[in-house]
Amino acid sequence: MESTTKPWQQLNQLIADESHGELQDYLDKLSHQDLVHALFRMAPEEQQALLSALTPESAADVLEELPDVHAAALLEDLPAFEAATIVMELPSDDAADVLAELDTQDAEQILGHMDADDAAEARELIAYDEDVAGGLMMTEFLKYTESMLVREVLADMRRHADEYALYNVQYLYVTDANERLLGILRARDLVLAQPDERIGDLTRPAESVSPTTPLEALVDFFEDHELSAIPVADTLGRLLGVVRRRAVYDTVAEHAEEDRLKAQGIIGGEEFRSMPSLLRSRRRLTWLSLNIGLNIIAASIIALYQDTLAAVIALAVFLPIVSDMSGCSGNQAVAVSLRELTLGIVQPMDVFRVWLKEASVGLINGLALGSLLGAAAWLWQGNGYLGLVVGGALALNTVVAVSIGGTVPLFLKALKIDPAVAAGPILTTVTDMCGFFFVLAFATSMLPLLQT
């Protein structure tokens, strides 16, 4: 192959040549970034051919590099028995996440071809909400009973070295004979202990969480503790799984990205250009169509004051500045409210406190921005009253914008409406309407002074 051959072209060629050994070697050499880039440059049928050409273990490694929704789409088009062999090689939490993205019927077909224990485990994990400990936990962890000796545990770990290679072996979890969690054992303490010591004597107490512990509580825990994972136990204290620090922070990051996309009008939270064009178009049009109507409402304010605008044409320059700058301030408030709602820092009942906090910031920023814009208008037109009109309008509209941006997400949350989707259009419409109104109403009241 020439050095100019692109990774996706190389992969397709190796698949066509049925050079499965070389294919695996080539995949091993690709960086995470290059592999993801190559996969998304391949057609869906080429991606499926790649998975089919690999061993289930290697195919699972490839799927782990992809977003869950895309991995699910690939599995959906594979024969159920083939998809099942791949899913069984995924970590339990990743397998549950991918299966949860499938239609119930497709997921059940795959589960039906899986090992009975693996299928039961996957069904249990899928049953939990994705934002609680049960939905984030994995069931691959090292667990031993308190009566075992150090040498027995070490022997077991050596015997199953291949299976445990991908486990987090920094800590071992110690239980009693009834599977109840007693505590944790550091791998360092295990290695340095005497061979005939009981591991129960080396065990340290450990905090645990219930399967229904929410995401925000898990975030708080990991911010306060330097641990890589926390055990999950049921009401009887029986160990069910562990939640990794990485899984918690990855989920927080995913939610933040989904909210950002929703705020930009990508309804559904995730979009890739590998998705069907009609699906992508429909998701975008939902938001864009709504905004046409909202923008017409905002523009109607200008129509009411067209005589004022015609008399002082310089106002037309400042109308978009006032609305855009206010919108930026409002979007900052929206972002903070969405973040605090996600982490559980605020609730809808806190709306008045949130408004007071935002209004104070809006007043300071509004005066600062209004002064800058007013000074610019004065210097440009040599009319201090024009500066007072546009500067005062921006100052007042900034207070309105941050008040709306900070409180509307809380109102929407109380109404069980996704604030990430609806807050943006509401904020844009209100800040445009108020900004246009303030500028033109102030100008109308001072029209003789603006024409001198």
Same domain, 339 and 376: yes
Split into its structural domains, the chain has a count of: 3
Look at residue 2 in the predicted model and tell me its pLDDT: 45
Are 130 and 248 contacting, i.e. CB atoms less than 8 angstroms apart?
no
Specify if 262 maps to a domain: no
Same domain, 67 and 189: no
Specify if 255 maps to a domain: no
Q: What are the pLDDT digits (tens) for 80-119?
A: 999 999 999 888 888 998 998 888 889 999 999 998 888 9
244: CB partners within 8 A, 6+ apart: 93, 136, 138, 168, 228, 229
- Would you give the DSSP letter of residue 270? -
Same domain, 165 and 124: no
Quickly state the pLDDT bin for 42 (edges 50, 70, 90). Answer: confident
Enumerate the β-bridge partners of residue 243. Answer: 230
Quickly state the pLDDT bin for 171 (edges 50, 70, 90). Answer: confident
Among candidate residues 222, 244, 266, the one where a domain is terminated: 244
Token couple for 374: 């007013």
Look at residue 263 in the predicted model and tell me its pLDDT: 60
Name the residue among 336, 366, 373, 361 with its Cα closest to residue 431: 366
Specify if 272 maps to a domain: no
Q: CATH number of the domain at 102, please.
A: 1.25.60.10
- Would you give the DSSP letter of residue 66? S
Same domain, 338 and 429: yes
Specify if 256 maps to a domain: no
Same domain, 200 and 290: no
Look at residue 386 in the predicted model and tell me its pLDDT: 92
Look at residue 1 in the predicted model and tell me its pLDDT: 42
Quickly state the pLDDT bin for 163 (edges 50, 70, 90). Answer: confident
Sign of the Cα torsion 108, 113, 115, 118 reads negative
The one-letter code for the residue type at 269 is G
Q: What are the pLDDT digits (tens) for 111-160?
A: 999 988 889 989 989 989 888 999 999 888 899 999 999 999 999 998 98
Among candidate residues 129, 152, 180, the one where a domain is terminated: 129
Share of the chain above pLDDT 90, in %: 35
Q: Is the pTM of this model over 0.95?
A: no
Average pLDDT, the chain: 85
Look at residue 52 in the predicted model and tell me its pLDDT: 85
Same domain, 355 and 225: no
Same domain, 181 and 57: no
Q: Which domain holds residue 166?
A: 143-244
Distance of CA 444 to the CA centre of its chain: 47
Token couple for 436: 């246009």
Q: What are the pLDDT digits (tens) for 252-279?
A: 877 776 666 666 555 555 555 556 667 6
